[in-house]
Amino acid sequence: MTRARALSPAARSVLSLLAEAGAEWSHGYDLCRRAGVKSGTLYPLLIRLEQQKHLEAQWLPPEPGRPPRHVYRLTALGHRLAADNPPLAAPSTRPVARPA
């Protein structure tokens, strides 16, 4: 599938975090926190990436005191997408010089 649009900064950040995790599974709350993305942005993004075969998802069984959790990791196709779309650089915090 050919992408028609550029990836959003949020998508680039999430892909980067998942790529860093390698074959390890990541859960949504951790991705929200580490990427600085709100859940209303993250979960639709994860669903879309899974539908496009860029990541796989599974449910982990409940642990004592914790409900089942949905976890995610990149597929080979997702790793290529992440490599081709690194996170955007943070904007500079230097003051902008104003013309006189």
Per domain, the residue ranges of the chain are 9-77
Confidence category of residue 20, pLDDT binned at 50, 70, 90: very high
Q: List all residues 6 or more positions away from 64 whose beta carbon is below 8 Å from its beta carbon.
A: none
Taking the domain 9-77, which CATH number applies? Answer: 1.10.10.10
What single DSSP character describes residue 5?
Answer: S
Residues β-bridged to residue 56: 73
Q: Which pTM does this prediction carry?
A: 0.79
Highest mean pLDDT among 48-57, 59-68, 84-93: 48-57
| pLDDT band, residue 5 (cuts 50/70/90) | confident
Report the distance separating Cα 55 and Cα 57, nearest Å: 7
Whether 74 has a pLDDT exceeding 90, the answer reads yes
Q: What is the pLDDT of residue 92?
A: 44
